[in-house]
Homo-oligomer: A and B are copies of this chain.
Amino acid sequence: MNAMNSAARARLERMGIRPTDARVRLLQELLGRKDHPSAAELIDAIRTQDEAPGVATLHQNLAKLVELQAIRRFVDSVGLFRFDACLDQHHHMVCAACGAVVDVPVSAKAREILEQGAMIAGERAGWDVRSMTLRFEGLCPACRDLEV
């Protein structure tokens, strides 16, 4: 817990913004999770540990962290913003039933082929393609069992 606390603190200092309590707790929570919490889930998670964080502050801090590229933001299939402290390139596998999102590594070869394809498709259409994301949809182990 303390290790994570200082990891979060260090990350904040490294990018030149004040490691306030609200920010350290937020980043610490995000670093310690493997799922992709929404703003509301983050508020809940932080609330239970201590007191209550302000909604506005949390959103402001999330926005700042995204802007500084300390975390990533994406939109889930119901239109909710979700956040992710993992900066390595990875793709998402989402459960059609429960909405769970897990990270999935894709083979380097597949990625290479895809990126080539992206460049070709983009250039043909006059686009400047900068990144590529894969999204798999299916059933997670739990929901798969329920369906059968």
Interface residues of A, Cβ cutoff 8 Å to B: 74-81, 93, 95-96, 102, 104-107, 109-110, 113-114, 116-118, 121-122, 125-141, 144
Complex copy number for this chain: 2
C-alpha gap A132/B113 in the complex (Å): 16
C-alpha gap A140/B123 in the complex (Å): 10
Looking at chain A's contact residues, is the secondary structure mostly helix, strand, loop, or mixed?
mixed
- Which residues of chain B have C-beta atoms less than 8 A from A141's C-beta? 125-127
Name the distance in Å between A133's Cβ and chain B's nearest Cβ: 5
Interchain CB contact under 8 A, A125 and B81? no
CB nearest neighbor in B for A106: B117
**CB-contact partner of A135 in B105, B135, B137, under 8 A:** B135
Interchain CB contact under 8 A, A132 and B122? no
CB nearest neighbor in B for A133: B135
- Which residues of chain B have C-beta atoms less than 8 A from A96's C-beta? 130
Name the distance in Å between A88's Cβ and chain B's nearest Cβ: 15
C-alpha gap A146/B18 in the complex (Å): 34
